[in-house]
Amino acid sequence: MSVQALLTEYGDKYLQALLTTWRLTAVSFAAAFLIGIVITVLRVCPIRPLRLFGDFYVQIFRNIPGAALLILLVYALPYLQIIFPYDVCVLIATVLIPSAFCSEHLMSGMNTISPGQIEAARALGLTFFQMIRRIVIPQALRSTVLPMTNLLVATMLTTSLASQVPMRPHDLTGIVSYINTRDAGGVTAFAISAVLYCGTALVIGRIGSLIDRKVRILR
């Protein structure tokens, strides 16, 4: 099928799919970011059980395959009588996995802070939380703009998991499967989705570099 024909027939569905993917990505990233900060704070706080919990959380969610996590959420959890609607399941998966990577990025971002600052802060009598809030996190965030940009793109790629559950409206990957079962969409159906994904990734990358150049800490 030609691009023209595809667009006239499914153009509105593609737009809907694009918006669905964007919405999922934005919401997931925001939530993952917040959780990532919380988990990172847990991983550096003086209470050992919390540190272990944070490390454990990160190891589980950066190593579990997205498909396995989604299947557990959708099919297995209900046996424990915890039933979430499909879109919530997808959201949980697209939040938990990036949150683990977010925490990893923040940890490496923290290591770019010179220890002298921490010593000075302690000498000045700042408590743990004050140090975290005023010194560690702001600088960690500024050094991790590029990895976080990559994480945003990775989150968008993870949202393709939505195609694996009967979710309406479709996301950009699910729509291709939908079109292909009803029409001989062929390569063009894929090309449109692929271009939309790529385009979004490129735009995100550009914006990310701009922000990075502005807030980068020169040492």
CB-nearer residue toward other proteins: 31 or 74: 74
Determine if 192 is a binding residue for other proteins (CB under 8 A).
no
Determine if 187 is a binding residue for other proteins (CB under 8 A).
yes
Determine if 22 is a binding residue for other proteins (CB under 8 A).
no
Distance CA 174, CA 164 (A): 8
Classify 83 in phi/psi space as left (phi over 0), alpha (psi -120 to 50) or beta.
beta
CB-nearer residue toward other proteins: 31 or 107: 107
Handedness of CA 56, 165, 82, 76 (dihedral sign): negative
Among 37, 158, 170, 208, indicate the residue that binds other proteins (CB under 8 A): 158
How many C-beta atoms lie closer than 10 Å to residue 134's C-beta?
12
Cβ pair 36, 99 in contact under 8 A: yes
Binding to other proteins by CB under 8 A, coded x per residue (else -) over 47-66, reads xxxx--x-----xx-xxxxx
Q: Least separation, in Å, of the C-beta of 4 and other proteins?
A: 19
Amino acid at 94: T
Q: Least separation, in Å, of the C-beta of 187 and other proteins?
A: 6
Cβ pair 152, 25 in contact under 8 A: yes
Q: Least separation, in Å, of the C-beta of 143 and other proteins?
A: 12
In the block, residue with structure tokens 């990075």: 212
Determine if 103 is a binding residue for other proteins (CB under 8 A).
no
Among 82, 123, 124, 218, indicate the residue that binds other proteins (CB under 8 A): 82
Strands (E), the chain: none
